[in-house]
Amino acid sequence: MKRIIIPFLMIFGTSIFSAQQLSTTEFNAMTKEQKKETLAKMSSEDKKSFIRKVREDDLVKELMIEPSNEKKFRQVLNDYQQSSRAIKKQFQPKGNFDQLTDAEAKTELDNSFVVGQQLMDNRKKYTNEFLKILSPKQVLQLFHSEMKWREKIEEHKDYKEHPKKK
């Protein structure tokens, strides 16, 4: 029995370890199918963490961050993203708008404006932090890249919800 379990554990452990050790370069070189298979093998948290790392690595490369500023950039980026996620969690609109009263709908709208302003204030705050380590052009490129990334995610969500029929 031990002869079967030990090799199984070694293979299982190696596959988990290799997924965690996968570099961004290796991941980006994969086909879409290989990427799907690799991500499917990861837990939800590992997947989120890995995708964030890939995104960070891509930004460092795209923005041509100086090696001396890379650690600080990653920290500020991580802080900015965590702060933005915390703000976005404040606005969880009720799913079925048809069942809202006009007063409830108005409250939801007002809340969305408050959260939108908080996101804008957060972006301004972190723009100042980014400007301590990046040029204004790099910061502009960072926010543009962030917008493109969001659009890509939305397209992916739309495709998953409404796949094209062949």
DSSP string, 58-118: HHHHHTT--HHHHHHHHHHHHHHHHHHHHHHHT----S-GGGS-HHHHHHHHHHHHHHHHH
Distinct helix (H) and strand (E) counts, the chain: 7, 0
pLDDT along the chain (166 residues), means of 10: 50 45 81 86 87 89 94 96 93 81 90 94 97 96 89 71 59
Predicted pLDDT at 32: 84
Predicted pLDDT at 17: 41
